[in-house]
A = this chain, B = another copy of it.
C-alpha cells in the first residue's frame, strides 16, 4: 500500500449503489453469532437462503461478513436485512472516511483501525457496522481478527454484553477498533524518541528521511482519526432508534479515547517537527564548526606564505638576503605574526568550540512554591 490515495471508486457517472469489489478480496465468509441472556449460538453460514431466517425476536444476531469477493452474496445480505442501497455501497466500497449515517431501518457506522504494515506505512482496514433492530452486521474485506476478544466475551457471558442489545455490541466492537490506535501511536512516539539521539549524535540524511517518513504516517493517522472522532461525536449528539441512551454513556468513553488519541498524534507531530528542526540546526552547527576552524587555519598561513614568497623573489639587490641572520629574523617574525593572529582570533572567540556555557542557574528545578 505504497500510495497514499487508493480510492477504488466506481467509474465516474455510474449509478449510486454500484458495488466496487476490491480486487483480491476473498469470497465472503459469513460468521454468525446469535445470543440472548442465556444462550449463545455460533455458526458459519454457507447457504445464503438462510439469511432471512437469522433474525429472531428476543435475540441479538451478529453477522460478520469477511471478504467481499462475491457480489450476489453481498446483494443477498443487503436484501435480507433490507439495507438501503447507499448503505451497502458504503459498506463495500473502500476506503471511506469514518462516518455515521442514519437510515430509516438501520444506522451505519464506518470505522477504520490503523495498523503498521511491514514497510512501516500506516494502513487502516475499514470495518463497517450496520446496526438495526436486533441485529448487527459487520463488513470487513478480509479477516483481520480484530474481534476475537469480543467473541470470547460473548461466549463467557460475563459483563454487560449478553444483557443488552445490538447497540452495546456495536459499541464494544467500535471500542475495540479504536483501541488499535494506541499501539500505533505509541510505536511511532517511541521511534521518534529513538531518532532523537541519532539526530544529535549522527545527523545523517537517512535520519531526516526517517523523521519525514514518520511524520507522513502521523499525518495519515490524523486524517484517519479525525473523522472517526467526528463520527462518534455525531453519534453522541442525539439518541437514535438504534443506539440507546444506555449505550451512549459507553460511547462517551470511547469518544474520550479517540479524542486523546488525536491529541497524542498532534503532540507527536509537534515532536517530529521539533526533531527535524533540531536535526537541521545540528547539521548546520557542525558545518559551521568545520568551516570556521579551517578558514581560520588558512587565514593564519596565507600571510605567512606571502612573506615566504617575498623572500623567494630573485631580485639581485635584496639587502635582507645578505644578512647572515636574515633567515632567522624572517622565521621569527613569521612565528610572531602567526602567533599574534592566533591570539587575536582566540580572543575574538573564533578559535575552538567554546565550552558550553554554565547553565547551572537555569537547570530546571522543581519550583519550591508548590505544595508537596
Contacts and interface: CB of A to CB of B under 8 A. Distances in A.
A99 B214 CA distance: 30
11 contacts: A2-B193, A4-B271, A97-B256, A191-B364, A201-B357, A216-B274, A223-B263, A290-B295, A304-B309, A306-B308, A308-B309
Interface stretch (A11-19, A57-65, A75-83): A11-19
A189 interface: yes
A103 interface: yes
A244 interface: no
Contacts of A172: 16
A163 interface: no
B179 A278 contact: no
A343 interface: no
Interface string A350-368: 1001101101011111110
A184 B367 contact: yes
A316 B252 CA distance: 95
Contacts of A200: 209
A145 to B, nearest CB: 5
B311 A315 contact: yes
Nearest to A287: B288
A256 B195 contact: no
Contacts of A347: none
A97 to B, nearest CB: 5
Contact of A15 (B158, B189, B317): B158
Interface residues of A, number: 157
Closest 5 CB pairs of A and B: A120-B364, A13-B149, A308-B309, A311-B313, A183-B369
Contacts of A311: 313-315
Of the listed residues A5, A145, A280, the one surrounded by the most CB atoms of chain B closer than 10 A to its CB is A5
A317 B309 contact: no
A116 B365 contact: yes
B304 A15 contact: no
A14 B253 contact: no
A354 B366 CA distance: 40
A321 to B, nearest CB: 5
A205 B290 contact: no
A346 interface: no
A370 B278 contact: no
B294 A291 contact: no
Contacts of A144: 372
Of the listed residues A86, A277, A317, the one surrounded by the most CB atoms of chain B closer than 10 A to its CB is A317
